[in-house]
Amino acid sequence: MATIPTPHIGAQKGEIAQTVIMAGDPLRAKFMAESYLDDPVLFNEVRGMLGYTGTWQGKRVSVMGHGMGIPSIGIYTYELFNFYDVQTIIRVGSAGAYDPDLKLGDLILAMGACTDSNYGAQFGLPGTFAPIADFGLLQGAAEACERLGIRYKVGNVLSSDVFYSDNPQSDKWMKMGVLAVEMEASALYMNAARAGRRALVINTISDHILTGEVTTSEQRRTTFTKMMEVALSLV
């Protein structure tokens, strides 16, 4: 087993806060650190996966990238939970809407995460595990959205292993009431469950499967600030 620093995180003991807010794009983490944190200090740049620790309204918090897809977030969150004693991880990421009522910029609080990934097979369970959010974090995020006047929905997302599908079947997930597709929530929720820790995924709608609407990479990096503020309210 690895010790700290780990193969993927160069931080020393004590350099990472017990609450970490994570984004797929490390430059979004950098934007969060520079825009919201007081006195942010870089603790990781291994493989370009930037991580910073600072304070938000006097509370210590870290922000860090996790890369794209279940294997990537699976590695980073495992190391954070199991080697750095992180207690809470909140992912702030983008998602493609399935629900016709969702608009670009709306938030989804991922209560559960379906998946087409085989990630959960490693646990050897005699059935199908249902990855879910921590209820306290979920409730707090919903209350923050109400308080801040942010449009949001609570429900199921799909964490898919495939971005460019040779056989897209979005309609089948839509029939089951899945709100949107992203690529990481289920692995985060499984790792949190296995480690006995807390996790929540907050997604901003970056594109819409039904309407074809899309946002740019720059918009996704610097204008999706509502989910950042909701996440920070939970620190």
What pLDDT does residue 2 have? 61
State the number of CA atoms in the 13 A half-sphere of 170 facing the CB.
17
What pLDDT does residue 208 have? 94
pLDDT higher than 60, residue 1: no
What pLDDT does residue 222 have? 84
Write the single-letter amino acid at 136: G
Pairing of strands 198-208, 107-115: antiparallel
How far apart are the C-alpha atoms of 201 and 185, rounded to whole Å? 6
Phi, psi (deg, nearest 5) at residue 129: -85, 140
What pLDDT does residue 50 have? 98
Query: Hey, which bits of the chain come out as E strands?
Result: 19-23, 38-44, 51-56, 59-65, 88-97, 107-115, 152-159, 180-182, 198-208
Please state, as a whole number, how many other Cβ atoms lie within 10 Å of the Cβ of residue 20.
26
68 CB-near residues (< 8 Å, 6+ apart): 24, 163, 183, 184
Token pair 């780990």 is found at: 6
pLDDT range class, residue 157, cuts 50, 70, 90 = very high
Residue 34, SS3? Answer: helix
pLDDT digits (tens, 9 = 90+) for 224-233: 999 999 999 9
pLDDT digits (tens, 9 = 90+) for 115-143: 999 999 999 999 999 999 999 999 999 99
How far apart are the C-alpha atoms of 134 and 194, rounded to whole Å? 13
pLDDT digits (tens, 9 = 90+) for 68-118: 999 999 999 999 999 999 999 999 999 999 999 999 999 999 999 999 999
pLDDT digits (tens, 9 = 90+) for 5-54: 999 999 999 999 999 999 999 999 999 999 999 999 999 999 999 999 99
Token pair 């922000």 is found at: 63
pLDDT range class, residue 217, cuts 50, 70, 90 = confident
Domain spanning 19-233: CATH superfamily:
Nucleoside phosphorylase domain (3.40.50.1580)
pLDDT range class, residue 221, cuts 50, 70, 90 = confident
Count helices and strands in the chain by DSSP H and E runs: 7, 9
What pLDDT does residue 121 have? 97
Is the pTM higher than 0.85? The answer reads yes
Question: Which residues carry out catalysis?
Answer: 207
Domain positions in the chain? 19-233
12 CB-near residues (< 8 Å, 6+ apart): 4, 5, 43
pLDDT digits (tens, 9 = 90+) for 163-190: 999 998 999 999 999 999 999 999 999 9
